[in-house]
Amino acid sequence: MNEGAALVITTHSAEETQALGEALGRAAQPGDLILLSGPLGAGKTCLVQGIARGLDVHGPVRSPTFVLATQHPGRLTLFHIDLYRLDSVLEAADLGLDDYIDGGGVCVVEWAEKAFGAFPQEHLLIELQHLGPEDRRITLVPRGDRYAQLAQQAVQQQSTKG
């Protein structure tokens, strides 16, 4: 498996974080798996809201912390999963993650670090970090050729907008 070079972006507002997400959503293809990692308030849900916009999802997108997974119809279905409340990889396996990952849409998982062992080796890992009140460092770590392409497309789209 190829691990592409990590791409690092700094955003300075929620709108910039959402713009990166939107670029990811526009470049997404059926079956894509995006894993998000970062502390509370780092911008994971904000990024997912942008991905949803890029997938032409209409309606609100909130973190599914208590229901664990939600589906949002759009150009491609967004499967939004939140593992915050889970304590082990085994609990994640019991969720039937394969059904979402193989569901023909785009699967985005918040708090993916709680269950890295439950996911396929090929995916796009996005690590979010606080730098300040509005500033975020967003590191895209592609695992596999498809995800190197996705990350590159999104970064190029976002840089042409900004």
The answer to whether residue 6 is domain-embedded is: no
The answer to whether residue 48 is domain-embedded is: yes
Q: Which domain range does residue 133 map to?
A: 19-161
The answer to whether residue 89 is domain-embedded is: yes
The lowest-confidence range among 34-38, 115-119, 124-128, 147-151 is: 115-119
Q: What is the pLDDT of residue 90?
A: 61
Q: How does pLDDT run across 38-53, given as a tens digit for each residue?
A: 999 899 999 999 999 9
Q: What is the pLDDT of residue 5?
A: 87
Q: What is the mean pLDDT of residues 108-126?
A: 91
The answer to whether residue 7 is domain-embedded is: no
pLDDT at 2 over 60: no
The answer to whether residue 34 is domain-embedded is: yes
Percent of the chain with pLDDT strictly greater than 90: 59
Task: Please say whether the beta carbons of 47 and 21 come within 8 A.
Answer: yes
pTM attached to this predicted model:
0.91
- Position 73, amino acid: P
The answer to whether residue 4 is domain-embedded is: no
Q: What is the DSSP string of 30-91?
A: TT-EEEEE--TTSSHHHHHHHHHHHTT--S-----TTTSEEEE-SSS-EEEEE-TT--SHHH
Counted domains in the chain:
1
User: Measured between alpha carbons, how far is 117 from 112 in angstroms, rounded to an integer?
Assistant: 9
User: Among 98, 150, 157, 92, which Cα is nearest to 125's?
Assistant: 150
pLDDT at 88 over 80: no
The answer to whether residue 5 is domain-embedded is: no
Q: What is the mean pLDDT of residues 116-122?
A: 87
Percent of the chain with pLDDT strictly greater than 70: 88
Q: Which CATH number does the domain housing residue 49 bear?
A: 3.40.50.300
The answer to whether residue 67 is domain-embedded is: yes
